[in-house]
Structure 1
């Protein structure tokens, strides 16, 4: 997480620093990113960066967490829009993330995230659908899902179902982005795998 001094910045300075970091992480992976480039774009002295973030990883995961929060909101909205249809809601989130990965400019941040996926990155991306929700939001999601349509008996089983869906979702995103699938090809593959899961999970 950023240091408190970052949150104390006025909106203009904060946004300028965030956009500079997003631009750098859109250009290259986390491990190739240069703090010097971020500073140059944000027009701040080198020492100032460390007043706001511990290191470049801190800045990267702040951006990733912000994106994950947006996708969580998207997921909730889709659950409501599709009357608790879990698979339809997950499909819409999948489409959104894949579309982000295909866009140019700062949206390449998501493409670089997917192309350089590891456990730490995946955990940051999905924590709003896993541990954090168990503690703060998971019950709300559970209440929104049409449980009568699923072969799931309780919240514990539902949690394991979500873990399976998340694993399938990320496997497909990484595979399809890495192999430059079109949106149609990617979505067809994802829906096919969800259909196999639904045969054992949907009544």
Structure 2
């Protein structure tokens, strides 16, 4: 028997809209499902900076249990809303990035050579994939000097449209205001006491 198609999920707020838009780019079937191999890319397109272990954690938490290998939007959306509100996978600040680049710039020249940067990104720590690295180099590499002038590169990284974490913060603030403004629900015992008076 053919599985009934799920109704299209409609966003309730700007945060959900951003997450759905990022997800739909990789939903090639249009059935609100993506391949698990796309999750890291989706997270990064949202401005998240997860480690590979964190990507696996997201997959484990959101993967379709009946048909492994894919992640349905209905699982991904609530998980990611919560993660964004909690600031999980938050990118490093400009100060932290600058300190890291300066650590590797032993001579204090203000740049790393293409060769050294390639070695750091592809071979040390948690290496980037070749695809991720190539994308990074489009922004990082100075075409004239073939070096990575890291203060310029960091400034490029920090110039971004309204960050999804800011949207998550606004959403959470609004939720708290609504919660505070809502009348407090009374417990059954309180209602009984009032009724007995």
Normalised-by-shorter TM-score class: under 0.3
More strand by share: 2
Larger CA Rg, structure 1 vs 2: 2
More helix by share: 1
Q: TM-score, length-normalised on structure 1?
A: 0.23
Q: TM-score, length-normalised on structure 2?
A: 0.24
